[in-house]
Each structure stands twice: as structure tokens, then as C-alpha cells.
Amino acid sequence: MIGYPIIMKNKIILPFVKTLHKRFQEPSPLIQVIIGPRQVGKTTGVLQFLETYQQPYHFANADDLIAPGREWLTLQWQEAKRKKALLVIDEIQKISNWSETIKKFWDDQKRLNQNKISILLLGSSSLNIQKGLTESLTGRYELIPVFHWNYLESIQLKEMTIDEYLQFGGYPGSYTYLADTRRWHQYMVGSIIEPVINRDILAFANVKNPTLFRQSFEIISGYPAQEISFRKLLGQLHEKGNTDQIKYYLDLFAGAFLFKSLEKYSAKNYKVKSSSPKILPMCSALFKLSGQVGLQEKIPHMFEASVGAALARGTGKLYYWRQGNYEVDFIYLNNNKLYAIEVKSGRKRKADGLEEFQKHFKSALPVIVTRDNYQDFIKNPEDFLLSVSS
């Protein structure tokens, strides 16, 4: 886990800054790529890193030009070579054929055995960046994921209760408007959700029916940490869709760091693939943007979702489990350890799912997360799992 922000000289230092310093102290670092949702501090963190970076660097932002292309990127590369400097490009996804160009620069200097120029890339469109990486830069890069701010991270910036965080938390820029719910909502929609949907997804991915896609966003937002069948999702759409469309939309939402679709855990792989998804918002505040009523009834689900989002930051595989009336909120498989995690969020259960799960999977380690140990959990979920299950 990367950690959480620290305050230094009255400034919040974002956690991935330390990671950047460590990576670029190595003799021959790979291309470092920062990805994550919009408005969570990626550019801010990079600028913090450069303030204390002890070597020459060349920083360029592709957002400064209307249509930056290969020529512009070549100029930035040549300037970095002249300075023998780290090359940092922000909004890299705005450059046409950026991944092929970076690949050529990287491979040429390796082939010619030249002094290696290190590269740091970041941008606001995670889907576009991820596609470029997988198509052209395989084996040449490392990812540094940056996530929505969790509760401990958020209270470094703004005092709030856990329930306030569950309703409004995740995007630090929105915390300025917590006293004015209408203004908070306008900021979230206008500055985050609409740009993600329009610029990062619809302008990039092959979505044949944008209206249906938007409807699916609103519906999915209303089911935080809840299992829902594809049939039920389709039944709520105003226009005709199909299961393959919904699965595709869920993949796009996942790539944009909005939702993660959890599969049901099973020892039989085909059952996993055919299960109804459990919708995990990567930011619990997305429910408030759905326009659906019943906020107080959803608070336990939003608490559960915040636990799931913290687990999703880790290196393991995340599932849920249900059999009849028995259920376990999250199944986490990591380092050959199987954790069965129940979230005591205030909603009633029909049966003790942990005990039933252990009957089927005897090696499973039971873990219970409550409001009392929630802060200990989100400091470092994987360390927490080890400590309470050992």
C-alpha cells in the first residue's frame, strides 16, 4: 500500500511522492506512469515531487496546446536530452500517437546505448493511457496508481465525520463546498463526472448509445456494494439494451476508476464468470450523485463500499460470496491467503456467513471490520488483515 498524506510545513504531501523519489533513485527505472481518477491530486503530487527532486528535469504539459502531436513531443524529448534531465509529460493522452512515439524514443536510446533519459507520464484520461500502455509499451513501464481519497486522507484536509465522508468524500477539490450541498453537487457533476463521461469515455471508447450509457451510470450509482443481476439492471433502463452492453459499460467504468464489478467467489471458475455482479463504487459519494432517494438507508451499504474500495487498492483479488441466505461481504485472495471479510455496517443479516463460508473453504481466515476498527483498517488494509487473522 502507498500510505496516506502527511503534513509537512503546513502542506499536505501526497503519498505517491515518496514512491516517485524511490523509483527515480534506482539506476535504470522503467517509464513511470501515474494513473487514477480525475481531481485526486496527480499533477499536484508530481509538482511536489519535482520541488524536492535533486536532479535536472524537464516538465511539459500537453494541455497548454490545442492539438499537440509527435513534433511537439519530439521537441520535449530533445530538450530533456540536452539537459540530461528527467522528462515529465502531463496530459500525455492529448498527444496523438503518444505511446508509439515514447516507445521509439525509449527503444532508440537503449539500442544506441545512450545515456538513458528517465520518463514520467501522467494524464486525466485513464482509459486512453491504459490502452496506449498495453498496445505499445508492454514491458517498458511501471504503474503508480492514485486513488480517491479515503477517510484518513480526507480528514488531513477537512474535518468531517465518517458519515459525512461516506456522502461527500473522495474528491478533495469538492471539500471546499461541503457547507453548500447544491454547490457541491454542481462541482461534482460539472468538474468531475461530466468530463469523465464525455472526455474520458464517450470521446474515446466505442459507445453506440450514449443515452443508454448515461442511464446505466445513474442506475449503477444507486447500488453501492450491492449484488444486482444483469436482468434487473436491464429492466431499469429506459431504452433497450443487452447483457453484453452492460458488461462493456461496467468495464469502461472500471477503467475510469468509477466502479468495480465484483464476481462471486467460487472454487469453480465457470461459476465465478456467470455470477451476478456486486457493484463497488470506488468513491461512496457517487450514490449522492445518482439522484436516487433513501440516502440514510444506503449509509450501511456506503460504509461497506468504502471498505471494499480500500481493499481494491491492494494487490490481491477481490470477490464476494453468497449461497442461499448466507453471504460474506468480501473475499480477498492475496499471497496464497484467503480472507473472508464481513463488514458490520448496521444492516441485519439472515445468517452467519463467515461460519458457513469456512465450512466450504476451511483455510479461510475470518475478518470483521466495524466502525470501531475502521480507521485502523484503512491505514493499511493488508497489514490489518494479517494482524487480526493471525
Q: pLDDT tens for residues 192-223?
A: 999 999 988 998 889 988 988 998 998 899 89
The structure's pTM equals 0.89
229: left (phi over 0), alpha (psi -120 to 50) or beta: beta
Residues 161 and 302 in one domain: yes
Q: Is 320 a residue whose pLDDT tops 80?
A: yes
CA angle 28, 29, 35 (to 5 degrees): 170
Confidence bin at 122 (pLDDT 50/70/90): very high
Residues 340 and 208 in one domain: yes
**Average pLDDT of the residues of the chain:** 89
Domain end marker among 129, 145, 161: 145
Q: pLDDT tens for residues 14-40?
A: 889 999 999 999 988 999 999 999 999
Domain annotation covers residue 253 = yes
Higher pLDDT, 139 or 114: 139
Domain annotation covers residue 85 = yes
Which pLDDT does position 347 carry in this prediction?
Answer: 62
Which pLDDT does position 68 carry in this prediction?
Answer: 74
Residues 194 and 60 in one domain: no
Residues 158 and 101 in one domain: no
Q: Taking the CB of residue 125, how many other CB atoms lie within 10 A of it?
A: 24
Residues 60 and 158 in one domain: no
Domain annotation covers residue 95 = yes
Q: Distance between CA atoms of 318 and 52, rounded to whole angstroms?
A: 36
Domain annotation covers residue 277 = yes
Q: Distance between CA atoms of 123 and 37, rounded to whole angstroms?
A: 10
Which pLDDT does position 269 carry in this prediction?
Answer: 61
Least confident window among 129-133, 154-158, 307-311: 129-133
Give the mean pLDDT of 67-94. 92
Q: Distance between CA atoms of 297 and 301, rounded to whole angstroms?
A: 8
Domain annotation covers residue 78 = yes
Residue 88's domain is classified under what CATH number? 3.40.50.300
Which pLDDT does position 144 carry in this prediction?
Answer: 96
Residues 108 and 159 in one domain: no
Task: Please state the separation of Cα 270 from the chain's center in Å.
Answer: 27
Confidence bin at 110 (pLDDT 50/70/90): confident
Q: Is 241 a residue whose pLDDT tops 80?
A: no
Q: Locate 341 and state its grid cell.
A: 471479510
Strand (E) or helix (H) holding 121: strand 119-122
For 292-331, the DSSP string reads: -S-HHHHHHHHHHHHHHHHHHTSSSEEEEEEETTEEEEEE
Higher pLDDT, 293 or 166: 166
Domain annotation covers residue 250 = yes
Which pLDDT does position 288 carry in this prediction?
Answer: 86
Which pLDDT does position 4 carry in this prediction?
Answer: 43
Domain end marker among 116, 145, 174: 145
Q: Locate 110 and state its grid cell.
A: 537503449
Residues 67 and 161 in one domain: no
Confidence bin at 273 (pLDDT 50/70/90): low
Confidence bin at 297 (pLDDT 50/70/90): confident
Q: Side chain identity at 71, as an amino acid letter?
A: E
294: left (phi over 0), alpha (psi -120 to 50) or beta: left
Q: In degrees rounded to 5, what are phi and psi of residue 348? A: -75, 145
Total tally of structural domains belonging to the chain: 2
Which pLDDT does position 166 carry in this prediction?
Answer: 95
Give the mean pLDDT of 70-99. 93
Residues 257 and 334 in one domain: yes
Which pLDDT does position 22 carry in this prediction?
Answer: 96
Q: Taking the CB of residue 290, how many other CB atoms lie within 10 A of it?
A: 18
Q: Is 56 a residue whose pLDDT tops 60?
A: yes
Residues 197 and 62 in one domain: no
Domain annotation covers residue 238 = yes
Residues 275 and 365 in one domain: yes
Confidence bin at 268 (pLDDT 50/70/90): confident
Q: Is 142 a residue whose pLDDT tops 50?
A: yes
Domain annotation covers residue 1 = no
Domain end marker among 114, 145, 176: 145
Residues 157 and 111 in one domain: no
Residues 137 and 187 in one domain: no
The alpha-helical segments, DSSP class H, found in the chain are 16-24, 42-52, 70-83, 98-111, 126-136, 151-154, 162-168, 181-187, 194-195, 210-221, 230-236, 243-255, 269-273, 295-312, 353-360, 374-379, 381-389
Q: Is 96 a residue whose pLDDT tops 90?
A: no
Q: Is 291 a residue whose pLDDT tops 80?
A: no
CA distance to 40, 76, 229, per residue, from 136 (Å):
27, 20, 36
Confidence bin at 9 (pLDDT 50/70/90): very low
Which pLDDT does position 15 carry in this prediction?
Answer: 86
Confidence bin at 125 (pLDDT 50/70/90): confident
- Domain span at residue 49? 6-145
